[in-house]
Chain A
Amino acid sequence: MIASIIVYGLVSSAVLALTAMGFSLTFGISGVANFAYGAFYILSGFLVWVLLNYLKVPFVLAIVVTIGMVWVLGFVTYWVILLRVRGIALSEVIATFALGVGILELFRWLGLVTYEFTLPTFIKGVVVIAGVVVDYQRLFIIGIGLALVLFLYFFTHYTRIGLAFRGVAQNERTAISLGIRSDLTAALSLAFGSAMVSVAAITILPLGIISINTGYEVLLIAVAVGIVGGLESVPGILVASLILGYAQVITGTYLKPEWMAVVYLAAIVLVLSIKPSGLFGKFKELEERV
């Protein structure tokens, strides 16, 4: 029992971290809201599915092509839609939110809701860890999740472009005066965030079917993890994912699995009322940021 909680808690924490990372990159770190995030997640899933089943592309190529296409989509979204309403929080939120709902509902209308839409796992098979049966895909999730967290940390702290992201988030005008092109940076951050959600989708979706409601759920997860951990902090994402992941598995084991979703609500409300900037938020008060 305990061993299974520890192992599956780790898996579900990794799922949360993977899912939340792209959102945190675009929104927390460079300050661009991407409410079409969940839609990009589902879109990546379907892109891979179409490439595999209609165009008969090899799996690895399909993955690479999908990630590339979603990267471009993120970039184009910024350049076509967000650039025109940059700085108006209301419009940014509404435009991306509408884009997300539009994509998801279009898929629903196209009838992509049946059980045939699944992605293949990377390697089939299971392994036994401390008496708990875990399949390889879940190990991949932990591995890729960890790798992405590390990548994100080093990317935002040690590369020029990552530092530019953070600079724009902290003070856009100062960043511009130091020669950082804020529009290009924001577009790139949206592109990288989208590519990350695409990675997350390809890794996580093989565990279940591709369903439209997952798209809304992904946004929820990203927001919950972001708020609990502090939106601009990479360690925050990690800790928040661990807390929420284990809380989920524990409620799932001792209560009913349906209660797991309630954990998010409780976590969001609790953290917002006690420490609005999140556990690891560096900003003293979240209210200082719009």
Chain B
Amino acid sequence: MRYRKERLDRGIKVRCDDVFALSSYREILYLAMPRVLPVAILLLFPLLKGVVGLYWEKTLVVTCTVSLLALSWDLMASVGLISLGQALFFGAGAYLTGYLNYAFKLSPIVTIPLGTLGGALFSTLLLLPVLRLRGIYFAIVTLTLPLLLGRFIETTKILGGGEGMSGLSPLPNIWFELYVAVFALLVCLFSFRRLINEDYGLVLQGIRDNDRAVMSGAISIYRFKIQAVFIAGLAASFAGAFMTHYYQFVGMSAFAMDYSIVPLTAAVLGGPGTFAGSVIGAFILVPLSEALRGFGTLRVVFYSAILIICVVALPEGIFHYMRRKYHQFERLTEIG
């Protein structure tokens, strides 16, 4: 007697999907919980400063920025643009913000939005000639761009050169830091999820799956790619702009490999294509790496190992797994 596993939707999912009048609190909870619970935890966590300590609150800020980078990676991956260099956007946003504050003494309220917009615009313009490339070719170029830009700044000694710009204005207070990071993450997450389910997002996914077909539908794929890169760039540049004022410093490290590989690992670990997965991945990875701080650069080796294992053995990612368990149950059935 041989058996195989069979997956079936849970009754409650079927009812919630088809019957639009929800008939019990259980069903309402079933639908609302996966969305409300993480949001509530995120919003409440900063209030627990006295309990968890300042250290972990600061970790929350870092986690949020990494999540933003992972989200922006995920949006670009949804258009079929595999980026190995989210640090490009991060660094562009960070340097522009830092420069505006350093040279013109503008307040963070002005520099962060300007840095976000300008950084995204600059990176999009820089990527414009290479957007015609697909797959591996695009990945190669994005890998090289942040490294070369970092080198360029070091060489030309513009924007502070190798030492960077320090002594930038701090953010008003800790609550501002925490809640701006959390709100940015939530807004970005839910707007991206909305975006990809609209008609617009459908075109983006179409470009990923078969760009020839989209072209033959008389849609300019370059226009959509440019727009998608700009939108993704906004999220990542904001992360850079925010971190500049958070650290009160911007330097070569803004273009470092870390800002490319950590979001990438987060997105792959959490499950690409869903956005929620990227955030889950970041919320696993960053606190873990804080806990492993004693290992120094060995942490990057851990990331790499996680990446290889995830790509080869668990390609679907954590989020897809969780969603399947939530909506479906498994049972053994006889074969034959």
Contact = CB atoms under 8 A, between A and B. Distances in A.
B298 A109 contact: yes
A286 interface: yes
Identify whether the interface residues of B are mostly helix, strand, loop, or mixed.
Answer: helix
Contact of B147 (A90, A92, A220): A220
Contacts of B136: 27, 33, 89, 92-93, 290
Q: Is the interface of A mostly helix, strand, loop or mixed?
A: helix
Interface residues of A, number: 45
B147 A101 contact: no
Interface residues of B, number: 46
B31 interface: no
A246 to B, nearest CB: 19
Contact of A105 (B147, B151, B265, B297): B297
A14 B85 CA distance: 29
Contacts of B196: none
A3 interface: no
Contact of A268 (B139, B141, B257, B312): B141
A64 interface: no
A288 to B, nearest CB: 9
Given A85-B312, A109-B296, A273-B129, A94 B154 contact: no
A40 to B, nearest CB: 15
Contacts, number: 135
Contact of A89 (B135, B143, B301): B135
A15 interface: no
B135 A290 contact: yes
B308 A98 contact: yes
Contacts of A97: 84, 139, 143, 307
A102 B304 contact: yes
B160 interface: no
Contact of B134 (A27, A216, A290): A290
Nearest to B307: A98
A269 B141 CA distance: 9
Interface of B: 77, 82, 84, 126, 129-130, 132-137, 139-141, 143-145, 147-149, 151-152, 154-156, 257, 261, 264-265, 268, 272, 295-298, 300-301, 303-305, 307-308, 311-312, 315
20 contacts: A90-B82, A91-B312, A93-B82, A93-B84, A93-B135, A93-B139, A98-B303, A98-B308, A106-B298, A216-B147, A220-B147, A256-B155, A259-B155, A265-B144, A268-B144, A272-B130, A272-B141, A286-B133, A287-B132, A287-B134
